[in-house]
Structure 1
Amino acid sequence: MNTILKKEATLIEFQGNTDRLFDYFVRDAIDGEFLKYVELKGIAQEGMNEEDIEKCDFLSGIVGLPIFSERFVEKSSSLLNQECMFYPIEIKCKNKVKTFYLTKINCYQQWIDYDNSGFRTLVDGSKMLDKPIVTKAIHNDFYLIRDTITKSRWAASENLKKFVEEHKLNIEFEIVDD
């Protein structure tokens, strides 16, 4: 999934401790108890303006976390309530503040074909997943999933794409090779 914006610098930067967000939303290393005591806030990078924040139904957080609009959550929560948890986050863009929802995807499947995916080599010689290829063994009975090995990588199904199109939501889908 991608934002519909065709410009640079459109990520959302989180205020506060991003380590805890990453540990909860991606690594599953901690429980979400801390979310009861913090207000989630984000700031849009300089490439976004107030009109952009109004029309987008999907934004991407700086650490790869999915952020959906109120409109998306209202329309899809009955479909996604088994797969996702939504947490309100106030996104500030210039002089406008708008509520979106930071999303924890709780549905897992090994959807990446690691033997055929592309990797880039880091300075220390380790490899990092760059271009994931979808495995042939993927089950399509989901809307949003995270990979069981690379938990920071998540994917949307054709089911979700159809839902987004039917409801005329402003989300773009990236095709991942299979």
Structure 2
Amino acid sequence: MKSLYRIAPNTRTTKRHVIFTEGVQKKLEEIIWENVNEKKIDSRWKITGAAQESYSDSNIEEMDYIPAFTSIPLFSQNFVTQCALEMSADVDFIPCTIISRTKKNHQYYIARTRRFLSLINHDETDLKEKENLLSPVIFNKIQDDFFLARDTIQKTMLIASEELKKMCDRKKINILFFEVKYEKNSDANS
């Protein structure tokens, strides 16, 4: 049985997101969640987000992962340099600039996964209108090989695989991994 993980930045700060303007946020959500294989990214589009005030420049430079609101994952230049080639079949990396509270620019990349799997057991997890999680999430057992995947219905749910965790451990990538729980009595799903 393969383990699944949620990822988190390796920081103690509580306000730990990158914020995009509303127009940029909506466009990113469309590109990342809907028809990901059909949407082309205009290379002239310069994506910029602001790090919340609790992030210092040194935090941003040391971390390899920072989340943006609505589960938009941002990875460092270090992560992309070391991992992007191995992940290229599943993930597109879109350049993004993060501006810190000191107005310094930091190069990061938005990860757009092309893998949507039935990660959540929707019969056992209490969902409100298929969007808001009201109870602890019960996950299906996944046998597919992947690095990052989103749930087919709850698209804000981003999960990392055991393969990604092992690669990050091997390459000393600065990301925290938290193993998720499977449902108790389920056959493997894919």
TM-score, structure 1 length as denominator? 0.88
Deviation at 1:146, TM superposition (A): 1.2
Instruction: Name 1:176's counterpart in structure 2.
Output: 180
**How many residue pairs get matched?**
173
Please give the residue correspondences for 1:25-174 in structure 2 after superposition, counting only pairs within 5 Å: 25-28=32-35, 32-33=39-40, 35-95=42-102, 96-119=104-127, 128-130=132-134, 131-136=136-141, 138-174=142-178
Deviation at 1:165, TM superposition (A): 0.7
Identify the structure with bigger relative contact order (alpha carbons < 8 Å, sequence gap 6+): 2
CA distance in 1, matches of 2:50, 2:130: 32
Kept in 2: contact 1:27–1:152 (CA 8 A): no
Instruction: Name 2:4's counterpart in structure 1.
Output: none
CA distance in 1, matches of 2:171, 2:59: 19
CA RMSD, 1 decimal: 2.1
- Bigger drift between 31-40 and 54-63 goes to 31-40
CA distance in 2, matches of 1:2, 1:35: 28
TM-score, structure 2 length as denominator? 0.82
Kept in 1: contact 2:52–2:101 (CA 8 A): no
SS at match of 1:172: strand
SS at match of 1:17: helix
Deviation at 1:132, TM superposition (A): 2.1
- Bigger drift between 56-65 and 32-41 goes to 32-41
SS at match of 1:174: strand
Kept in 2: contact 1:84–1:104 (CA 8 A): yes
CA distance in 2, matches of 1:139, 1:13: 34
Q: Quick one: structure 1 residues 10 and 127, their matched pair in 2 at CA, closer, same or farther if it must change by over 3 Å?
A: closer
